[in-house]
Amino acid sequence: MSIASDDLLFGFRPARWVWKPLLKRLVTGSLDPLVMGPGETDVPAGLQRLGLYLHVPFCHNLCPYCPYHRVKFEQGLFGRYETAAHQEIALRARQMTEGLAASGGERPRIVSLYLGGGTPTVVPEALARLVTHLADTFGPPGDVCVELHPSAMEDDCLRLLRATGVTMLSVGVESLSDRLLGLIGRSHDAATAEDAVRRAVTMGFEAVNVDLMFALPTQTLDELDYDLGRVLALGVDQVSTYPIFGFPYTEWGQRLGLGEIARPRGDVIRQMLDLIRRRCRGHGLEQCAVWSFLRPRKKKFSSITRHHYLGFGPSAASMTGRQFCVNTFSVEEYAAALPERSPVALVLPVDRRLEMAYWLYWRIYEMKLGVADFRDLFGEDLEAVYGRLLGMLTRMGMMERQNGSYRVTEGAAYWVHRFQNEYSLNYINRLWGRCRQEAWPPEVRL
């Protein structure tokens, strides 16, 4: 495909009206919109593995481009949040115990705990208390991964995280250009970020990931090359890169008067992804997801690719296989709801085909679809369900069959990124944009 076809597919609205419904029908088996509304949440039943997610929605500085739910740190509000988060953990545990007793099922094994935000370490001691409560309540969580802001990860904080059981770190460097950091409103400078990463890699964690943004306004290839060289020289285990997007509901989007999501030009993304791939491979890292690169034999840091998980905190989502749920975004309403009632604001019923589509989406993002994994999870053959799609992608050179798996080819990674974003970014914009406006939306159509 050429850049011209790129512009036609993704930039020309009538073209999107043609291919998006067709692809949705092929993947989900339906053209109907996804409708989320109030409802009772179910108890995970029959699950063998379960991830946990904790959202800490506080930052000392609110980056104007950030689409994630966060509020300005205020001590009193944070105290109410921490109390409510402990109450939600207790509520979920009680619901699970009662549900499993009624069904005769067994507790799922907790495979991971992800700590996101916001700035999870805005109050390190509080984070440690919540992590300990989750582990004591649901069982040892295996990998414990945390997002870090370069200005909120002093040595004492890192030592506390290790003592609490954190195994993997992700440092939000974004750029090592003071000019670009100022342009996007980050509160740290390049020297602080570089020092933070250098200290993190010496602290004995199983993996250290660095997040870098690209396709920033006015960013050049030379500036991105400089960022990559400096970060890779620090000896990190993984580099995750992602382009900047402008969401209408963010401060940045409102300042620019955006009526729809603003995306970088396709040729810019393509050129920068090619540079990222070359640079990472030159330092021994291999592509492990659409825009992530990992050292061989190291564990991969990832946040959102667990198939089943429970979320805690304002705006946290849960995926149980039968439901996809989202907590209220309002910290005040979240705290007011607990401990008497669930803070879940919206529920999406998930049928079997939609759950398969959810699995497919994230496995394609990870660039590998395990045939045996699909059979273990769903009891069906991957090719029997998605044979037409996989066959088409294979003939187009976008996938190849290899050692019992389908793998996304290197040349297709860019196109996977573009196609997936047409769905995920619009879902995020509709769901998160609405939930930021209303604590308890009566309905959201995706």
Q: What CA–CA distance (Å, rounded) separates 281 from 265?
A: 25
394 to each of 192, 218, 333, 400, 403, how far by Cα in Å? 45, 37, 48, 6, 15
Q: What is the residue range of 198's domain?
A: 49-294
pLDDT tens-digit readout, 256-299: 898 888 888 888 999 999 999 999 999 999 999 988 999 999 98
Q: Is residue 93 scored above 90 in pLDDT?
A: yes
pLDDT tens-digit readout, 155-165: 999 999 999 99
Quick check: is 387 in a domain? no
pLDDT band, residue 42 (cuts 50/70/90): confident
Quick check: is 163 in a domain? yes
E-strand ranges in 251-398 read 286-289, 292-294, 309-312, 317-319, 323-327, 344-349, 368-370
User: Is residue 118 reached through a cis peptide bond, with omega within 30 degrees of 0 on the bond before it?
Assistant: yes
Quick check: is 429 in a domain? no
Q: Is residue 3 scored above 60 in pLDDT?
A: no
pLDDT band, residue 15 (cuts 50/70/90): low
Quick check: is 243 in a domain? yes
Instruction: State the pLDDT at residue 1.
Output: 43
Average pLDDT over residues 396-411: 93
pLDDT tens-digit readout, 306-322: 789 999 999 999 999 99
Quick check: is 417 in a domain? no
Rounded to the nearest integer, the mean pLDDT of the chain is 92
Please tell me the least confidently modeled range out of 39-48, 172-181, 204-213: 39-48
Q: Is residue 373 scored above 50 in pLDDT?
A: yes
| The two three-digit tokens of residue 374, written as one number | 């699909």
Strands 58-59, 71-72: pairing kind: parallel
Instruction: State the pLDDT at residue 2.
Output: 45
pLDDT tens-digit readout, 57-87: 999 999 999 999 999 999 999 999 999 999 9
Average pLDDT over residues 416-433: 86
Secondary structure class of 96 (helix, strand, coil): helix
pLDDT tens-digit readout, 94-151: 999 988 888 888 889 999 999 999 999 999 999 999 999 999 999 999 899 999 999 9
Instruction: State the pLDDT at residue 99.
Output: 86
CA dihedral 82, 88, 90, 92 (to 10 degrees): -150
Which strand (E) or helix (H) includes residue 378? helix 371-378
Quick check: is 240 in a domain? yes
Instruction: State the pLDDT at residue 73.
Output: 98
Q: What CA–CA distance (Å, rounded) separates 393 from 400?
A: 8
Number of domains in the chain: 1
Quick check: is 84 in a domain? yes
Quick check: is 259 in a domain? yes
Strands 405-408, 309-312: pairing kind: unpaired
Nearest CA to 353 among 18, 16, 32? Answer: 32
Domain holding 206: CATH number? 3.20.20.70
